[in-house]
Amino acid sequence: MMYLELQNLLPLYFEESKKQTSEIWGKDLRFEKGEMIKIIAPSGSGKSSLTHFIYGTRQEYSGTISYDGKNIRDLSVENFASWRKDHMSIVFQDLRLLPEQTVLENIDIKRQLNPYHPVEKIEQMAKRLGIGKKLSSKAKTCSYGEQQRVAIIRALMQPFEFLMLDEPFSHLDNNNRITAMELMMEEAHSRGAAIIFADLERADFFPYTKLFYL
Amino acid sequence: MQTGTKASSRWFSYIGLGAGVLLLLVSVQMFINLDQLLNKVNTRKNGFDFISISKKINDENQSVKSVFTKQEIDELRTKPFVDGVAPLMANEFRVHVEASGIFGTDLFLETLENEFIDTVPKSFQWAQGQMIVPLIISSDFLEAYNVFAPGNGLPQMSSTTAERLPIIIECSGQGKQLTFQARIVAFSDRINSVLVPKPFLDWANQNLGEASEEGATRIFIKTKDANNPDFLSYLDHKNYLINKDKTRLGRTKQTLQAVFSGLGVFGVLVVVMALMLFSFYLQLLIARSRDNLQLLLLLGYSPSWLSKNVSKRFIPVYIFIVLAALAVTQILQWAFHHTVMYDRPELSSAINWIVIVIAIGLIILSIITNYRLVRRLLYRLY
């Protein structure tokens, strides 16, 4: 996938007037590979709606979203699955881990789907983000901050052209945020991929090429 | 996925499936056994059975002449299990027979198409003007004669002697009397009558016949299988009387096949029930693992890949169940052949290929139905 287009997008549950104040809702936008996109989205502005619309998990919107010119509403279930497997990775705000599985299993389940890294890479990344000792613990026993780092590493296990981050650092201190962001930047560069980073406020450690207020 | 709890419903469905499949396979095998057994017993040299039928005479229709009409014969001809029909035509004049002073009696003459007679020598021919009439008589008649001959001071005869015996036939009717010489040219095991060549009887009936009867009282049917249940039920339905000996096995076959059909249908029902039970179990399983499966789908696992994976866990079990049932069927067939049928050559100790094909079909069916079910359930989660 080379580019992502949003055309006149608006959640069905938002009023038309939102289009006046937002830089994304109701606009025609095109995101290309390699771009660093920062979206500043205060509470209630529809940040999670946007990430879910783009990832294809929710459809309550007007307007169109297309990958490489193809409307995603026309993608079959199987095509969507293969698109998520090969082209787009995501860190959800609510993380979505398997609580009964260990940290390692949670990460490896994504790696096995379409391996971009060898399994040893999981341990390296975990150490770098400070959860190296947690690999064999069940996900539900980890703190929320630890779980956020698990979700970040999991997102880096597959090939992608777009990496979407939905408020990925809410429970991390500043040092940990910077380390995690560095790791993600490296991984995106090695793939020539774009990062779409949606957060409540400005983040100084993210060298964006485009900035939008939602 | 969590599969630990509620394993009992899974085991019930496995056992049910095994029992159903076994029942089905054994029924099919026994059905085939019966078929092989009864077809081999009745196979004639040329592969056909010839049987005579007449109309049932009972108190109600005693006064009515029970002859076959042309329509009835034509109808018989159209039936798939009938390969040929020939009426047995009788004389319509008086016949008196003298056998070189040994005995004399009034007799009947009949004729049948040559194709239906088991022994037809070249000499069994007659043309107008020919004074010697060839006869084919039932070998039962010769046997009966030899039984009562000594008691009446008559010489016993071999079939060769009988064929040399000079016979005089006196035919009378329409105020005329004609005398012919006759020779027995063959004995028939099949036809219980005194047969003359058709041209002779046609000619004589025309010249001496008193009444012109429509139809025949007896007709011969040529069929591939006198034990064909369709054939027998057709005859029953039409109230036709038939040579019982030749079809007694057929009646047994009819009954047994009905029994095994019933068992087979029951087997199919059990298989269906077991598959349904298993599908409920799968639905339960998927409902309980709903969150995990949903997450896997979210991460990019495709529904068809997941359903293949879920199905893969059950496929070996299905294959094992059906193969086990097939093995038990094989053991039962061997035991049946060896102990009940004393290794009769018509049957085989090995199960029939049709049974194996059905077993493979069942494996494919169960795999496909479950795969489709899982896939449908997963698509619903997407």
Which has the closest alpha carbon to B227: B35, B32, B72? B35
What is the arithmetic mean of pLDDT over A125-129? 93
Residue in chain B nearest A82 by alpha carbon: B300
pLDDT of residue A182: 93
Is the pLDDT at B43 greater than 50, yes or no?
no
Residues of A in contact with B382 (CB under 8 A): 77
Q: Would you call A85 and B302 a contact, using CB atoms and an 8 Å cutoff?
A: yes
Which has the closest alpha carbon to A172: A194, A142, A192? A142
Both tokens assigned to B327: 């093995």
Laid out side by side, the sheet with A88-91 consists of A88-91, A162-166, A194-199, A36-40, A210-213
pLDDT of residue A89: 93
What is the arithmetic mean of pLDDT over A204-211? 87
Between B207 and B190, whose confidence is greater? B207
Least confident of A46-55, B51-60, B159-168: B51-60
pLDDT of residue B339: 85
B309-339 pLDDT per residue, tens: 887 888 888 889 899 999 999 999 999 888 8
Pairing between strand A194-199 and A36-40? parallel
Confidence band (pLDDT; 50, 70, 90) for B27?
confident
Nearest 5 degrees, angle CA B243-CA B248-CA B249?
Answer: 135
- Which residues of B make CB contacts under 8 Å with A? 292, 295-305, 379, 382
Residues of A in contact with B296 (CB under 8 A): 109
Cβ neighbourhood burial of B133 (10 Å; 0-12, 13-18, 19+)? buried
Residue in chain A nearest B292 by alpha carbon: A98
Cβ neighbourhood burial of B369 (10 Å; 0-12, 13-18, 19+)? middle
What is the arithmetic mean of pLDDT over A94-113? 90
Confidence band (pLDDT; 50, 70, 90) for B222?
confident
A140-197 pLDDT per residue, tens: 999 999 999 999 999 999 999 999 999 988 888 889 999 999 999 999 999 999 999 9
Residue in chain A nearest B293 by alpha carbon: A98
Assess A75–B contact: CB distance below 8 Å, yes or no: no
pLDDT of residue A138: 92
Is the pLDDT at B108 greater than 50, yes or no?
yes
pLDDT of residue A152: 94
Taking a C-beta distance cutoff of 8 angstroms, is the pair B187, B142 a contact? yes
What is the arithmetic mean of pLDDT over A99-119? 91
Q: How far is B373 from chain A (nearest CA, A)?
A: 16
Least confident of A109-123, B39-53, B87-101: B39-53
Taking a C-beta distance cutoff of 8 angstroms, is the pair A18, A49 a contact? no
pLDDT of residue B42: 43
* Residue owning tokens 């036809």: B191
Q: Would you call B299 and A98 a contact, using CB atoms and an 8 Å cutoff?
A: no
Is the pLDDT at B3 greater than 50, yes or no?
no
Nearest by CB to residue A81, choosing from B292, B295, B303, is: B303
Least confident of A124-133, A158-167, B227-236: B227-236
B263-306 pLDDT per residue, tens: 888 888 888 887 787 778 778 878 888 888 888 888 888 888 88
Residues 6+ away with beta carbon under 8 Å from A124 = none
pLDDT of residue B60: 64
Q: How far is B321 from chain A (nearest CA, A)?
A: 32
pLDDT of residue B212: 61
Rounded Cα–Cα distance for residues A73 and A71 (Å): 5
Rounded Cα–Cα distance for residues B200 and A10 (Å): 105
Is the pLDDT at B242 greater than 60, yes or no?
yes
Confidence band (pLDDT; 50, 70, 90) for B243?
low
Which has the closest alpha carbon to B161: B179, B150, B148, B146? B146
Dihedral (Cα; B321, B323, B327, B330), 10-degree rounding: 120
CA distances from A161 to A90, B134, B367 (A): 11, 103, 38
ipTM comes to 0.86
Q: Return mean pLDDT, chain A.
A: 90
Nearest by CB to residue A96, choosing from B295, B300, B302, is: B295
pTM over 0.95: no
DSSP category for residue B170:
E
Q: Return mean pLDDT, chain B.
A: 81
Assess A59–B contact: CB distance below 8 Å, yes or no: no
